[in-house]
Structure 1
Amino acid sequence: MALTPKNELSREEKRAKQENAQQEALLREVDEAVRQSDAEQFLDRWGKPLFGLLVAGLVAFGGYLYWDSRQEAAMERDSEALVGALDQIQSGNIDSGYDRLEELAGREGGGAAVAAAMMRAGIAEQRGDSEEASTIFKRVADNDSAAPAMRDLARLRDVALNYDSMKSADIIATLKPLAVPGKPYFASAGEFVAHAYLDQGKRAEAGAMFAQIAKDENSPESVRSRARQMAGVLGVDAIEDVDAVLEEQGVQRDEAASENAAAATE
């Protein structure tokens, strides 16, 4: 008789566990149904817009791939045109090279088109057609799509081509922004500006510019040497390291001192 209550409690526990399991299964089904209902409502409301966005994204990506392939093909054609023109020029067929560059140089934009334009300007200058060369240089200088260095070079070449016919004030206004230490064409632009100052009678400004060029270690030594001499003529000391300058010229300090002393006694 003592075992009966234990057996009955065991059956009750089993029954309770079964009921709990059934309740949990029912709750899961209800929860799943709610989720499915929410998903259906979400898809009914947003399914078409989301699908449209997906399609639009795929179309845009496909368009980018197409555009990229076209750009690459265009770059290859431009490169071939430049190489072909260079081959003609190096072979002595300047007129043929000039004609080959016409289509590419006439396009808007930078890169190959600007390079082709600068090459045509150089050929025109070489053939003595200064007006045509100047027109091309000005067009490159005003091209916002061109690299700043190429635009500056075009300005410098145009001034060099027309220096004798330009007013000193116009030369200074055009090249002074380039005549700054650290700029790519500082030495060349600075020389033009300094000589324009001399034409205006501004010896102090010219001497200061020549001195800047002479002290600029990034400028070509030939240009620095000319600038050093011009600065000296104008009474501006442009030598920071006397020994270095004497060494570049192959002169010893004692030898230079003896020559100066001999010159002073004469």
Structure 2
Amino acid sequence: MTWGARPGAARSCGEQTLAIKPTESETFLREVDEELRKEQLNNFVARYGWALIAAAVLVLAGIAGLIWYQGHRAEQRDQQAEALTDALDKMEAGNRNAALPKLAELADSRSPGYRVAALFARANAQIEQNQLPAAIATLRSIADNDDFAEPYRQAALVRQTALEFDRLPPQVVVQRLTPLAQPGQPWFGTAGEMVAIAQLKLHRPELAGPMFGRIARDENVPGSIRARAVQMAGSLGVNAVESLGSPAAAAQAAPEAPAQAAAAPPPATERNSQ
């Protein structure tokens, strides 16, 4: 019986041997796979290592350069803001000779905002010195520059037209300012007034009267422009007195309009906002 027990023991040992072999095989395969991956990684690093290092250095240099550039631009903006404030203070104090060099420097700025502000200040100085051709040229350079935001360009165009109103053919005024002489436009009052007077010079009262009426009815237009519009509209048969909305405003518009509306002086360049 003892001899008969041995085959069972042998089978037990064989089962244990068979149970171990798959584990050893998996371990061997994992080791081979790890070695293969290490070899592939070493080959990749050996082949592309310097390129990766160079790319990393370039990325870091780019980030550092961007940070420096942003800081430099911020510092420049601060300096330009101080220069503009100083120039405007000198202009207000009447010291134009000290302000003009700063304005000339800002007029060449890479920042459109500071550039356009300097050009407007230069135009104001030229107007105060009665250098109207120079002021017109400065304003034209703003109006024609696509780098500037549309509100700045419109403001320059309106003021330029007001300065040269007496010398411009009426049809040029109408063509130039009609897009701005629309209700809802920021320069509706000033541009509309000039367009209406130009229409009178062209002997078109049927177009001028309604324009004055629309100006008088627009509460966003400054009171002084609305009052003039009421007078002009009344002289052309358009009743716009009630549109001023208050007895005091109506009383301001009570004086009769000039007898010759076509001879009315060019309007002031007053912005259509309170």
Equivalent pair of 1:215/1:238 in contact (CA under 8 Å): yes
Give 2:146's aligned residue: 144
Equivalent pair of 1:109/1:146 in contact (CA under 8 Å): no
SS across alignment from 1:111: helix
Alpha-carbon separation, structure 2, partners of 1:168 and 1:197: 7
| Aligned counterparts, 1:85-164, within 5 A | 85-107=87-109, 109-164=111-166
Report Cα offsets for 1:9-37 as digits up to 9, x if no partner: 54334323322221111110122123234
Q: 1:3 to 1:44 in 2, by over 3 A?
A: same
SS across alignment from 1:177: coil
Percent of aligned pairs sharing the same letter: 34
Alpha-carbon separation, structure 2, partners of 1:36 and 1:19: 26
Give 1:235's aligned residue: 237
* TM-score in terms of structure 1 length: 0.81
| Aligned counterparts, 1:43-62, within 5 A | 43=45, 46-62=48-64
Alignment counterpart, residue 203 of structure 2, candidates 188, 201, 204: 201
Give 2:219's aligned residue: 217
Give 1:39's aligned residue: 41
Q: Which amino acid aligns with 1:138?
A: R
Report Cα offsets for 1:132-176 as digits up to 9, x if no partner: 211211111122212211111111111111111111122122222
Equivalent pair of 1:85/1:98 in contact (CA under 8 Å): yes
Alpha-carbon separation, structure 2, partners of 1:244 and 1:191: 16
Report Cα offsets for 1:209-234 as digits up to 9, x if no partner: 22332232322233223223323332
The answer to whether structure 1 residue 245 and structure 2 residue 256 are counterparts is: no
Stretch deviating more after TM superposition (76-85 or 33-42)? 33-42
Q: Which amino acid aligns with 1:145?
A: D
SS across alignment from 2:61: helix
Stretch deviating more after TM superposition (143-152 or 2-11)? 2-11
Give 2:177's aligned residue: 175
* TM-score in terms of structure 2 length: 0.78
Shift of 1:197: 1.0
Q: Which amino acid aligns with 1:68?
A: Q
Equivalent pair of 2:174/2:195 in contact (CA under 8 Å): yes
Alpha-carbon separation, structure 1, partners of 2:93 and 2:80: 20
Does 1 or 2 have the higher relative contact order (CA < 8 Å, sep 6+)? Answer: 2
Give 1:78's aligned residue: 80
Q: Which runs of 5+ in 2 are unaligned?
A: 252-274
Alpha-carbon separation, structure 1, partners of 2:12 and 2:192: 106
Alpha-carbon separation, structure 2, partners of 1:235 and 1:49: 83
Q: 1:233 to 1:129 in 2, by over 3 A?
A: same
Equivalent pair of 2:244/2:250 in contact (CA under 8 Å): no
Report Cα offsets for 1:62-84 as digits up to 9, x if no partner: 22222212211211111111111
Q: Number of aligned pairs?
A: 249
| Aligned counterparts, 1:14-29, within 5 A | 14-29=16-31
Shift of 1:199: 0.9
Q: Which amino acid aligns with 1:144?
A: D
Q: Which runs of 5+ in 1 are unaligned?
A: 252-266
Alpha-carbon separation, structure 1, partners of 2:88 and 2:112: 19
Q: Which amino acid aligns with 2:171?
A: A
